[in-house]
Amino acid sequence: MNIASLSVRVNRTNPDHHLWNNNGTWFVHYTVYPDRLTKERVRRSLGTKSLAEARRKRDVLFRNWGGASRRVALAC
């Protein structure tokens, strides 16, 4: 059984890492590596026009990801 691992690269000088504004709506974007040969770019709407709310939702998403039962790595 694979043990879940999470790796997030963060630019600490940029509080909006992994965030992107698309016509007023904030999205989170990241790359998932389910195995050594495969990668998948994920872009997901956070459903908000508020930057502060987008940051909060991004932080909750990444905090909760640690409980995932699959092996993944995230990178920006």
pLDDT in tens, 30-51: 888 777 788 888 899 999 999 9
9-18, 50-59, 61-70, range with the lowest pLDDT: 61-70
| Domain that residue 65 falls in | 19-75
Strand, coil or helix: 58: helix
50: in domain:
yes
Residue 28: HSE in the Cβ half-sphere, 13 Å Cα cutoff: 20
Strand, coil or helix: 36: coil
Contact status, residue 7 vs residue 73, Cβ threshold 8 Å: yes
14: in domain:
no
Per-residue pLDDT, 3: 45
Backbone angles phi, psi at 62, to 5 degrees: -70, -35
5: in domain:
no
Residue 42 structure tokens: 């994920």
64: in domain:
yes
Q: How far apart are CA 56 and CA 59, in angstroms?
A: 5
Number of domains in the chain: 1
